[in-house]
A and B are shown apart, each in its own frame.
Chain A
Amino acid sequence: MDKLPQAQSELREMDTLAAADSPVHRLHPICKLSVTLLYIVIVVSFPKYDLSGLTAMVLYPVIAYQMAGIPIRLCFRKLRYVLPLVCAVGLVNPFLDHTPFVTLGSFTVTGGIISMLTLLFKGCFSLMASFLLIATTSIDSICAALRKLHVPELLVTLLLLTYRYIGVMLEEVGIMSQSYRLRSPGQKGIHISAWGSFLGQLLLRSMDRAQELYSSMLLRGFRGEFFYAQGSPFGFGDAVFLLGWGIAFLCARRWNLPAVAGSIFVR
């Protein structure tokens, strides 16, 4: 049950990172969202054997992390969520695809190894990009951007409210599980006799609390929509960032840039 405090500290950490100030933090959220999505789309669109071409894509997160002043190692802790399924799918490739690609001494690199590495790289790269987005953009800015992109207000308001309440709930459930654990030494999780009542009691209390919350929101003039502070408009810098990276990504996808660079040194 150590997941709860860990999730709490992760949320806090992301909030702290997003509250900092840097050229990347100051970019318009729509600009960052578009660049991130474009980056991920281009990364995953690389063919499965194009490992060398894909490596050029590492430059965007590396440069942007430095611009944002965020240590790149932070995002690798999140890999534990991404890697299991990617590994499960990727690790079988070397056993099934024996197409020889290149021999280095006595070792033959097969297509399966290349495609496995490509898959793992794709997983890491897209994680780095989405982590960067959220580490430099607060939830309020993201919600404001989503509203500008005409995502239904009900969904956006729900996202914002849920995010606020996740902190409260994590704390509450964390306290409950800690006290349960202290009263049941040597037990791994929740016993079957408390399966229903443990979360059920909290659920009942929370449902009542939600009603009170709604009443207080109404009293403060809530009419179904939140209003967002007007951030700085989509400026020249945002356009340059978006266009520049967009062109760079497309070039990296169209031409195998590392191979071109490497061919200068290899006959």
Chain B
Amino acid sequence: MHMADALLSPAVAATMYAATAVTVGTSVKTLRNDENLAKLPTMAVTSALVFAGQMINYTIPGTGSSGHLCGGMMLSALLGPQAGFLSMVVILTIQSLFFADGGLLALGANCWNMAFYGCFVGYYLLWKPIMGSKLFAKLGTKATGRAKIILACVLGCVVTLQLGAFSVVLETTVSGISELPFQAFVGIMQPIHLAIGLVEGLITSAVLVFVYEARPELVMDAPIGEAGLPSKCSLKTTLIILAVVVAIVGGGLSLAASSNPDGLEWSMFGNTEAGYSENMGLDEEHYGLSSGAAEIAGSIQEKTAFLPDYAFVNSESAAGTTVSGLVGSVLVGGAAALICVLGGFFRRRKATV
């Protein structure tokens, strides 16, 4: 879901940077107030682990494909939402800097789409309420905790991934990048991420359940107590039952969503479409031949022009810009190649001297 720089306009990128910066500021303040300095190495080691863990392929039974771990949910369940958010920001920064996974300008948007939803929305809206609820209370402490973790993880991953995917569509559309209508884009992105969310949720919950069984105090808000009643259903059974239920519900939802797209597109974008082209298209008259430098060049071109006329479909000024632009671009390409060759030549000469 990492967005590249090319998918955002500077205005949208700046807005997302601002939103992320505010969240980072608040998180840092909260952590500093709590004097959670001791958490720092734990945060670093856990985020490094999540970074490496996201590269492991988990086989999905019955299919040939594999899934990955969901970082946001896992980190906020282990470290709390604020520390989890900062850890995710750091992971995304390293991914963007060292692996070119997600652009530098798009970092703000990526942090928002993956870290904010995964940590804050996932934690406060799903993880905390579910862990604090009386769900599955009859099963005994351990089994209750286990069932709650699985439920919270699966729901959390599905919901946060849906929000993230929706944000990607929204940011790209507002940036005026794609010709793809908003509705069609949403129709593609949401079901794909529904499936991904389900699998990621199950994998993440498996890891968290393991941690919970061994060291319950490491998992945020998880019930700690004497091992009361022996658990009535094993981890595997719980996982399978939940997967089936969520698959049925999710499948039904996505079917309903794609066959009956809501009025969101119209309500949000129906009236502003003309506005986009005006804002983003920037009038062409101010480019190319109408500029002062071009007029001087025009007098030179009378004597130097050697290329024959082309057949144009569009208006004259645009077409003129297009062809001279094409020629100019070839010139730029030639210059770039020349610079590379010269650079290589001088480097080799320096190496041999």
Residues of A bordering B, CB below 8 Å = 1, 3-4, 7, 10-11, 14, 36-37, 40-41, 43-45, 47-53, 55-56, 58-59, 62-63, 65-67, 69, 72, 75, 78-79, 81-82, 85-86, 89-90, 92-93, 96-97, 100-104, 108, 112, 115, 119-120, 122-123, 126-127, 129-131, 133-134, 142, 152, 154-155, 157-159, 161-166, 168-170, 172-174, 177, 187-193, 195-204, 206-207, 209-211, 213-214, 217, 224, 255-267
A-B contact pairs, 5 of them (CB 8 A): A44-B13, A85-B3, A190-B57, A256-B288, A263-B294
Please state if A170 and B339 are interface contacts (CB–CB under 8 Å): no
Given the known A-B contacts A50-B287, A264-B300, A267-B307, are A155 and B89 also in contact in the complex, defined by CB atoms under 8 Å?
A: yes
- Is B121 part of the binding interface, using a Cβ–Cβ cutoff of 8 Å? no
- A127→B61 CA distance, assembly (Å): 37
Please state if B59 and A187 are interface contacts (CB–CB under 8 Å): yes
- Is B258 part of the binding interface, using a Cβ–Cβ cutoff of 8 Å? no
Partner of A58, one of B45, B281, B332, B344: B332
Please state if A264 and B304 are interface contacts (CB–CB under 8 Å): yes
Chain B interface mostly: helix
Residues on A with C-beta less than 8 A from B105 are 37, 40-41, 44, 126
Residues on A with C-beta less than 8 A from B343 are 65-67, 69
Q: Which of B197-212 contact A (CB under 8 A)?
A: 202-203, 206-211
Please state if A214 and B288 are interface contacts (CB–CB under 8 Å): no
Residues on A with C-beta less than 8 A from B307 are 265-267
Please state if B44 and A162 are interface contacts (CB–CB under 8 Å): yes
Of A36, A96, A199, A210, most B-chain CB atoms within 10 Å: A199
Please state if A36 and B104 are interface contacts (CB–CB under 8 Å): yes
Partner of B99, one of A78, A104, A193, A197: A78
Of all chain B residues, the one with the shortest Cβ separation from A157 is: B40
Given the known A-B contacts A7-B55, A102-B319, are A263 and B43 also in contact in the complex, defined by CB atoms under 8 Å?
A: no
Partner of A210, one of B41, B93, B203: B41
- Is B22 part of the binding interface, using a Cβ–Cβ cutoff of 8 Å? no
Return the CB mask of B215-242 against A: 1 if under 8 Å, else 0.
Answer: 1001000000000000000011001000
Please state if B87 and A162 are interface contacts (CB–CB under 8 Å): yes
Residues on B with C-beta less than 8 A from A123 are 4-6
Partner of A190, one of B3, B43, B59: B59
- A45→B281 CA distance, assembly (Å): 10
Please state if B59 and A51 are interface contacts (CB–CB under 8 Å): no
Please state if B6 and A154 are interface contacts (CB–CB under 8 Å): no
Of B202, B208, B326, most A-chain CB atoms within 10 Å: B326
Chain A interface mostly: helix
Please state if B210 and A197 are interface contacts (CB–CB under 8 Å): yes
Q: Sort A-B residue pairs by CB-CB distance and give the 8 closest, nearest first.
A: A52-B325, A258-B328, A66-B343, A262-B328, A200-B210, A196-B210, A262-B327, A161-B44
- A108→B344 CA distance, assembly (Å): 38
Of all chain A residues, the one with the shortest Cβ separation from B172 is: A89
Please state if A217 and B41 are interface contacts (CB–CB under 8 Å): yes
Cβ distance A144 to chain B, nearest Cβ, rounded Å: 15
Please state if B24 and A152 are interface contacts (CB–CB under 8 Å): yes
Please state if B331 and A206 are interface contacts (CB–CB under 8 Å): no
- A169→B44 CA distance, assembly (Å): 11
Given the known A-B contacts A192-B61, A195-B207, are A155 and B44 also in contact in the complex, defined by CB atoms under 8 Å?
A: no
Of all chain A residues, the one with the shortest Cβ separation from B97 is: A134
Residues on B with C-beta less than 8 A from A133 are 97, 104
Of all chain B residues, the one with the shortest Cβ separation from A103 is: B311
Please state if A44 and B8 are interface contacts (CB–CB under 8 Å): yes
Q: Which of B103-162 contact A (CB under 8 A)?
A: 103-105
Given the known A-B contacts A59-B336, A165-B48, A263-B289, are A4 and B86 also in contact in the complex, defined by CB atoms under 8 Å?
A: no
Residues on A with C-beta less than 8 A from B325 are 51-53, 256, 258-259, 262
Cβ distance A98 to chain B, nearest Cβ, rounded Å: 10
Given the known A-B contacts A134-B97, A255-B287, are A189 and B66 also in contact in the complex, defined by CB atoms under 8 Å?
A: yes
Please state if A267 and B203 are interface contacts (CB–CB under 8 Å): no
- A188→B289 CA distance, assembly (Å): 59
Cβ distance A208 to chain B, nearest Cβ, rounded Å: 9
Residues on B with C-beta less than 8 A from A264 are 297, 300-301, 304-305
Please state if B100 and A82 are interface contacts (CB–CB under 8 Å): yes
Please state if B103 and A1 are interface contacts (CB–CB under 8 Å): no
Return the CB mask of B169-192 against A: 1 if under 8 Å, else 0.
Answer: 000100011111000000000000
Residues on B with C-beta less than 8 A from A103 are 310-313
Partner of B7, one of A58, A85, A188, A255: A85
- A43→B100 CA distance, assembly (Å): 17
Please state if B6 and A211 are interface contacts (CB–CB under 8 Å): no
Partner of B339, one of A7, A66, A104: A66
Please state if A102 and B312 are interface contacts (CB–CB under 8 Å): yes
- A50→B284 CA distance, assembly (Å): 9
Please state if A259 and B99 are interface contacts (CB–CB under 8 Å): no
Please state if B104 and A126 are interface contacts (CB–CB under 8 Å): yes
- A192→B307 CA distance, assembly (Å): 66
Cβ distance B103 to chain A, nearest Cβ, rounded Å: 6
- A55→B319 CA distance, assembly (Å): 17
Partner of A255, one of B44, B218, B293, B313: B293
- A132→B7 CA distance, assembly (Å): 20
Cβ distance B44 to chain A, nearest Cβ, rounded Å: 3
Please state if B323 and A10 are interface contacts (CB–CB under 8 Å): no
Partner of B207, one of A10, A196, A206, A255: A196
Residues on A with C-beta less than 8 A from B302 are 267
Please state if A214 and B41 are interface contacts (CB–CB under 8 Å): yes
Residues on A with C-beta less than 8 A from B40 are 154, 157-158, 161, 214, 224
